[in-house]
Chains A and B, each alone.
Chain A
Amino acid sequence: MSYKVGIDIGSTTVKVVVLDENNTMLFHSYERHFSKVREKAAEQLRCVARMLEGKSVRTVITGSAGLGVAKAGDISFVQEVYATAAAVNAYIPDADAVIELGGEDAKIIFFKGSLEERMNGSCAGGTGAFIDQMATLLNVTAPELDKLALQHEKIYPIASRCGVFAKSDIQPILNQGGRKEDIAASIFQAVVDQTIAGLTQGRELTGKIVFLGGPLHFLQGLRERFVETLKLDENSAIFPENAECFAALGAAICAEDYPAMDYAELLDRLEKSTVQTGLTDTMQPLFNNEAEYEEFKARHAKATPDLLDIESYSGAAYLGIDAGSTTTKMVLATADGGILYSYYGSNQGNPVTIVLAKLKEIYALCGDKIKIMGSAVTGYGEELIKNAFSADLGLVETVAHYRAARHFDPKVDFIIDIGGQDMKCFKIRNGAVDSIMLNEACSSGCGSFIESFARALGYEIKDFAQLGILDQNPVNLGSRCTVFMNSSVKQAQKEGASVEDISAGLSVSVVKNAIYKVIRAASPDDLGKNIVVQGGTFLNDAVLRGFEQEIGRNVTRPTIAGLMGAYGAALYAADAKPENPALLSAAALDTFEHTARPTTCKGCTNHCSLTINTFDGGRRFISGNRCSKPLGKTVQELPNLYKFKLEKLKAMQGKGEGNGSRGRIGLPFGLNIFENLPLWYTLFTKLNFEVVLSPVSDRGTYKRGQRSIPSDTVCYPAKLMHGHIEDLIDMGVDAIFYPCMSYNFDEGKGDNHYNCPVVAYYPELLGANVPRLKDVRYLAPYVGLHRPKDFKKKFGEFMKKEFGVPEKETAAAVEAGYAAYRAYKDEVVRTGREYIEAARKEGRTIIVLAGRPYHIDPEINHGIDELINSLGLVLITEDCVCGNVEKESRRVLNQWTYQARMYDAARYVCTQPDMQMVQLVSFGCGTDAITTDELRDILEDGGKLYTPIKIDDINNLGAVKIRLRSLVAAVEELGGNK
């Protein structure tokens, strides 16, 4: 008799299944392999030695990491989705669809109708790795996360596309006191949304659905989210008993068709598949020998502050608190920078408790002889902690870090801080923080990156990092996302890399990420001459050494690298010497109480998730707000041209001056319509159409349309269009009009006047992907507004053909449309001018918020305009000042109309002392890869600060605030608006 063996080697686990001839399962196992792929597989096979010894077996390997093993051992291979489909066919023949989540993969198989299989593409958001990453962030294990989730009360919107984005959503909720239970459930909901959005792409998930894979097998909370979201019941949601090893089961079934071999031979092949191909791509070692390492350690030991004995000191002291995203740091220092006390630890999701405990400890140590004469807070939790404990000052992280770095190197001109999941670096110019670079797109290259690898390989982070120090063959892993790095590591292991090689390689890849992805430096001089490095990650000697090697220059790493924010805050407090130090007294701490209650603000359509913190039963602090509305204060509304434009455009719907007799025509309120609406509105109402504009975007718009988005890497503004189309269909229009436009208006300022490909052709994508559009009259003609005369003629023909409108009538309407467009543009310019004058009267800084016309959509800009206003700044747009300069050639091909406006606006900003530019960059916007560098050059050559802000579907404004506050601080430092 012949047995069938299926071995599924996934990204994190090995699964083995043994079947007899009748497909009865005789054995199955599921274990983490910690990258020891072959060994684990062989080990599990040996467990069944008694059963299989001397027997003939048919074996098939499957799984993403199994391919290499199969090749090397000359064992048959089938792709895992294929194997899974085979297993489902055999055991659950009436299934309509399968959802399978693995370590790095997410898959959906549709059985009903034509068989279709989908896998996640190049992004691993929403998979097991993502859940692990999030659990780490909450400082719990995955099973604990699961337990928490089952007790949730509320779901927060969390981006799941990438761990980094999710983290930026979760961090503020955590820091503002949100419940871990709710966050845990929200994480699972994000996974559900990601799976549905990313993989269904227009196909309905209905009927009997089978859930497979490790995470879905083990995590009840995740199951619950899926069942609820898909509105399933006991009969339609199937969680098979062996869900975690279905692919292995399928492989075993497939083995039927493959040749048999002796069990001993199978084991032999598996074990011998260790082909030592030798590492092909290695780098220079970090240290050639022990002596070099000792010399290195001695050099860096020099950058240390005075450490004083708190017991013997008496006098004034200053407290600095850095309430970071994952850790809390506190330093008590003397006025001249001697350290009396320091604390560094995880904030365990609740910084208030930690600070409270440590503050009590400090007071006890101080007794009567040390008086805290000033206190300052920085970091993500700044406002919360400042309010909780009545600290005197709050300062933005960058300023705190600079203050601390200056203490060690007064000539410092570049600071890089790598923490757990954040990376910040900035230059110092004229004593002010300049050119801030943050890792907005990706958390690769941060501390937690190495940490998660250490854990995956079964090491503690400290031991793991140390392993690489004296390694002679660090493997070159390039620089990329954690998730992709997994596969690079796998590849390296296949080639025989040791743990030491990988440890050193990972440390260097952190450095490369920082230098090439975040800083984008080409040479060490791009950074600066006097570099101070800090943040917990640099306490890792391998990373520090890698950094010095990569930039070819020695740097200063203070021994308190992890405490620099808190230290800087303490020094800042010492500089300020507040007159009436207000920090809560020891007595007040004894009765300190803190409660946090989550709620949703109903002040406007942003629906901010607020947390109401109450201290000592009375004092209140509200966080999570973007504007001052929920605070109940009446503040002066500052000029905001984003708002002005949005209000103007929103009004352009209805019958206008016409009678609407020709029908209701729907326009989706997104992308190009934001620019051309005045024209279309006037044109159509003139022709007696009623213009139906889809409602201004909100989170729901995205959700309503996300099922039909075919490309998950397209920009968020484009993704929203799917929801706008759904909305228009719901509103019951006679036709939807959304034209294709290769060309934009020719404003005579560039080399050409294109739209970007997405703006130009998205109407065609919608037509092909939104299923409901088949039932609606959908008009997406190519139009050329850049040639008014031809357009009048061509559009006349179009309207005649489609609606029987006489061409003469259309011609007049087109002319009126152009006139309305010009009038709108003029009004924007005029109003901008008024705003500028108003700002100047009050001596306020003017921010030109540059982007595309559709960035005024509040769901796209996430209220950044209001945030800017809340910092006391006046906001105008690129299109109200770009006309103020003459045409000038650029060092890039200046071929897009919208982008050309930004270049010109930047040039104008350079001529105005009281203006600064902030650029909004949509994630995934390919053209901005070009504009950002060019704008930076224009602004920096003109002596201005460059502040780009990357935005996506996330609505966390933490990083944005750092940038904007640093900008404000720098403007002040540089002498205000003189």
Chain B
Amino acid sequence: MAKLEYDKNGRLLFTKEMKKEYTLLIPQMLPIHFGMMRMCLQKRGYNCVTLDNMNQRAIADIGLKYVHNDTCYPALLVIGQLIDALNSGKYDKDKVGLFITQTGGGCRASNYIHLLRKALKKADMEQVPVISINLSGLEKNPGFKMTLPLILQLVFCIVYGDIIMLLANQCRPYEVNKGETDALVARWEERLVKEFQKGGFSMKKLRRNFDLIVADFAKIERIVTPRPRVGVVGEIYVKYSPLGNNNLEQFLQDEGAEVVVPGLVDFVIFKIYNRDADVDLYGGMKLKKMVVGALQKYVEKCQQAMIDAVKKYPEFRPPSPFSHLKEKAAGYLGMGNKMGEGWLLTAEMLELIEDGTNNIVCTQPFGCLPNHIVGKGMIRRLKDDYPNSNIVAIDYDPGATRINQENRIKLMLANAGRMEKAKAEEKNEITV
């Protein structure tokens, strides 16, 4: 059995031996994306599992028990889900490790990993190593390396995930044969995973797959009836994770809306770009700027490939490139506003409005620090500049009840309906 080794600060390391023996748990956020990422890691010899325990109440209770209750809701859920899994009896507690992401910014989220370790200590499982996934070079482990090829592969997973999510959201509400879209999503997941096993990572392949994916989705038989489009933005975890947002996407869809969820790749580019912006604002190493610039360019290239593929089919709405989001944010927030989702969140709202998606749910954990500024703090301005924007801010935390959240979303939807009607009447008047 692998020996427990610590670094000079007493942090338990994930060793090379552990890599051979241990099962690694990944908390869930975006099922399509994370599923593929798991495969990438497995291919590199990490025996990992994405968690599927989704009992929100039980997980939140565990979170409350082991994490300071004033900490943000995503921390409660992520840590709750991991500990719930450890307690499930499915894994040998002496042969299991945990993955957690660390963004490394000035937001509390960079502390999740430490809160997780504190929680493990409280739960008497200090022997379980925790591996940080980050781009800042925080916390190195001999048994796990964030190599450039791995980073690039993860980027592939993200853009694949994004394009599938994007197209599925545009097809699902209109499909003639119920379930066809989800079946196609499943088929593509499986196919991509198989390709990953064979090592299918090249820009060429990416472009080809994008074309095939879009073509496949275009084949889904659809009847396009007018539906309100509702955008979802917010703190990254509650924005995406059904566990975090009480299954928001499903709810919106059941209410008859087409859901528009901006993709994950912008967030990745945003986090890379922040380093570049820092040098511009405060000075610093030109070399750093070049290195991050190169990485950013590569990811943007992947994003552009996705946009190009979607554009070939006029029935689909392609996402905007990152550079466009940057332009949108100007005049609202500085490029230095980088903690949490930073200016990107506001830019996403602006992009949605520009794209005709005036109805937006801005999600955040209760008391989310960056969102005071970039979410709730910008709604007033947006309303001034775009009087038709219809934005509702929804807080998520263990105590917030679904009934309250849904009632507020319903108001937003009622307004959406009214505005549609007014627009239609206006048109009628003109034609008359």
Binding site for B on A (CB under 8 A): 64-65, 67-68, 77-82, 113-117, 119, 121-122, 201-202, 281, 441, 476, 478-481, 484, 487-488, 490-491, 516-517, 520, 522-523, 708, 710-711, 713-714, 718, 740, 742-743, 752, 754-758, 760-762, 764-765, 768-769, 781-782, 784, 786-787, 789-791, 793-794, 889, 891-893, 895-896, 924, 926-930, 932-933
Q: How far is the CB of B51 from chain A (nearest CB, A)?
A: 21
- Report the bound CA distance from A764 to B337 in whole Å: 9
Q: B118 near A: Cβ within 8 Å?
A: yes
**By the criterion CB–CB under 8 Å, are B401 and A491 in contact?**
yes
- Using C-beta atoms within 8 Å of the partner chain, give the interface range for chain B: 35 or more
**By the criterion CB–CB under 8 Å, are B111 and A893 in contact?**
yes
Q: Evaluate whether A926 and B72 lie within 8 angstroms (CB atoms) in the complex, with A789-B283, A893-B110 already known.
A: yes
**By the criterion CB–CB under 8 Å, are B283 and A793 in contact?**
yes
**By the criterion CB–CB under 8 Å, are A517 and B380 in contact?**
no
Given A517-B69, A713-B367, A740-B334, 10 further pairs, Cβ under 8 A? A114-B383, A122-B397, A122-B400, A478-B60, A490-B403, A714-B372, A781-B334, A893-B113, A895-B106, A926-B71
- Report the bound CA distance from A784 to B277 in whole Å: 12
**By the criterion CB–CB under 8 Å, are A516 and B65 in contact?**
yes
Cβ 8 A contact of B377, one of A80, A754, A768: A768
**By the criterion CB–CB under 8 Å, are B373 and A762 in contact?**
yes
**By the criterion CB–CB under 8 Å, are B370 and A757 in contact?**
yes
**By the criterion CB–CB under 8 Å, are A929 and B334 in contact?**
no
- Report the bound CA distance from A930 to B112 in whole Å: 10
**By the criterion CB–CB under 8 Å, are A718 and B372 in contact?**
yes
**By the criterion CB–CB under 8 Å, are B337 and A761 in contact?**
yes
- Report the bound CA distance from A671 to B403 in whole Å: 37
Give the interface segment out of B24-32, B179-187, B407-415.
B407-415
Question: What 0/1 pattern do residues 216 to 227 of B give for CB contact below 8 A with A?
Answer: 000000000000
Chain A residues near B114 (CB-CB < 8 A): 891-893, 930
Cβ 8 A contact of B381, one of A769, A791, A896, A929: A769
Cβ 8 A contact of B415, one of A117, A441, A784: A117
Chain B residues near A768 (CB-CB < 8 A): 332, 377-378, 380-381
Q: How far is the CB of B358 from chain A (nearest CB, A)?
A: 12
- Report the bound CA distance from A790 to B284 in whole Å: 8
Q: B395 near A: Cβ within 8 Å?
A: yes
Chain A residues near B93 (CB-CB < 8 A): none
**By the criterion CB–CB under 8 Å, are B64 and A782 in contact?**
no
**By the criterion CB–CB under 8 Å, are B106 and A488 in contact?**
no
Q: Evaluate whether A760 and B282 lie within 8 angstroms (CB atoms) in the complex, with A79-B411, A711-B377, A896-B106 already known.
A: no
Question: What 0/1 pattern do residues 1 to 19 of B give for CB contact below 8 A with A?
Answer: 0000000010000000000
Q: B210 near A: Cβ within 8 Å?
A: no
Q: How many contacts between A and B, using CB within 8 angstroms? A: 220
Interface centre among A121, A491, A762 (most CB of B within 10 A): A121
Q: How far is the CB of A687 from chain B (nearest CB, A)?
A: 21
Chain A residues near B373 (CB-CB < 8 A): 757-758, 761-762, 764-765
Q: B160 near A: Cβ within 8 Å?
A: no
Q: How far is the CB of A578 from chain B (nearest CB, A)?
A: 44
Question: What 0/1 pattern do residues 97 to 140 of B give for CB contact below 8 A with A?
Answer: 00000000111101101110110001100000000000000100
**By the criterion CB–CB under 8 Å, are A710 and B115 in contact?**
no
**By the criterion CB–CB under 8 Å, are B122 and A522 in contact?**
yes
Q: Evaluate whether A82 and B64 lie within 8 angstroms (CB atoms) in the complex, with A491-B403, A757-B373, A926-B72 already known.
A: no
Q: B33 near A: Cβ within 8 Å?
A: no
9 nearest CB pairs, A to B:
A790-B283, A784-B282, A480-B399, A754-B106, A929-B70, A487-B401, A782-B336, A765-B377, A82-B414
Chain B residues near A520 (CB-CB < 8 A): 68-69
Chain B residues near A68 (CB-CB < 8 A): 403
**By the criterion CB–CB under 8 Å, are A927 and B108 in contact?**
yes
- Report the bound CA distance from A204 to B393 in whole Å: 21
**By the criterion CB–CB under 8 Å, are A926 and B110 in contact?**
no
Q: How far is the CB of A76 from chain B (nearest CB, A)?
A: 12
Cβ 8 A contact of A67, one of B281, B406, B415: B406
**By the criterion CB–CB under 8 Å, are B339 and A116 in contact?**
no
Chain A residues near B415 (CB-CB < 8 A): 82, 115, 117
**By the criterion CB–CB under 8 Å, are A713 and B401 in contact?**
no
Cβ 8 A contact of B107, one of A121, A522, A523, A757: A757
Interface centre among A113, A790, A929 (most CB of B within 10 A): A929
Q: B43 near A: Cβ within 8 Å?
A: no
Q: Evaluate whether A711 and B372 lie within 8 angstroms (CB atoms) in the complex, with A82-B414, A119-B408, A520-B69 already known.
A: yes
Chain B residues near A754 (CB-CB < 8 A): 105-106, 339
- Report the bound CA distance from A490 to B113 in whole Å: 36
Interface centre among B108, B113, B372, B401 (most CB of A within 10 A): B372
Q: List 24 A-B contacts (CB under 8 A).
A: A67-B403, A67-B407, A77-B410, A79-B413, A476-B57, A479-B64, A484-B401, A484-B404, A487-B401, A516-B69, A520-B68, A710-B379, A713-B372, A740-B336, A757-B370, A768-B381, A784-B282, A787-B284, A892-B118, A895-B110, A924-B367, A930-B71, A930-B108, A932-B68
Interface centre among A65, A476, A478 (most CB of B within 10 A): A478
In the complex, the chain B residue whose C-beta lies closest to that of A489 is B401
**By the criterion CB–CB under 8 Å, are B118 and A933 in contact?**
yes
Cβ 8 A contact of B106, one of A80, A718, A755: A755
Q: How far is the CB of A35 from chain B (nearest CB, A)?
A: 13
Q: B89 near A: Cβ within 8 Å?
A: no
- Report the bound CA distance from A757 to B339 in whole Å: 6
Q: B376 near A: Cβ within 8 Å?
A: yes
Q: How far is the CB of B86 from chain A (nearest CB, A)?
A: 14
